[in-house]
Amino acid sequence: KSQSHSNPIESPFQERCLGIIENKRQKVLEFRAASIEYLFQSVNPTLIQEAERQLNLVFRRGQVPPDLISVHIRWGDKKEEMLDLLPAEAYVKGVERILEKRQKPSPNPVSVFV
């Protein structure tokens, strides 16, 4: 089946993305959801099962904390591409900056997953 270069997203995803015209926030949230649905439509079910298993191992009852900051430190294979890798302290300072910029404090404790 040929695919047009000007229109890479196929229906129904195209209709869902193009049909979102409400307020800006809702538009962005729905577009993200449609994009993720499109990207993950052909993920192997075994991978999904493993992701769910890992979720339950890391978070109690598979419940992600409401105030979660997830930090991905990629040192393994990056050392071959990069001259200098950031030290762990740089990531800690980044999380601290995120917390400083929060507009209103939350009653929930902040969880950081590295």
Mapping DSSP onto H, E and C, the string for 89-104 reads HHHHHHHHHHHHCCCC
pLDDT at residue 108 above 90? no
> How sure is the predictor about 74, in pLDDT bands with cuts at 50, 70 and 90?
confident
Tally of residues, the chain: 114
Distance between CA atoms of 16 and 32, rounded to whole angstroms? 11
Given a cut of 70, whether residue 111 has pLDDT beyond it is yes
Q: pLDDT tens digits for 55-66?
A: 899 888 888 888
Segment 45-56 mean pLDDT? 91
Alpha carbon separation from 86 to 2, 81, 82, 93, 112 (Å, rounded): 44, 13, 10, 11, 18
Q: Contact 111/68 with Cβ under 8 angstroms?
A: yes
Angle at 70 between CA 98 and CA 44, to 5 degrees: 145
pLDDT band at 25 (very low <50, low <70, confident <90, very high): confident
DSSP 68: E
Residue 6, by phi and psi: left (phi above 0), alpha (psi -120 to 50) or beta? Answer: alpha
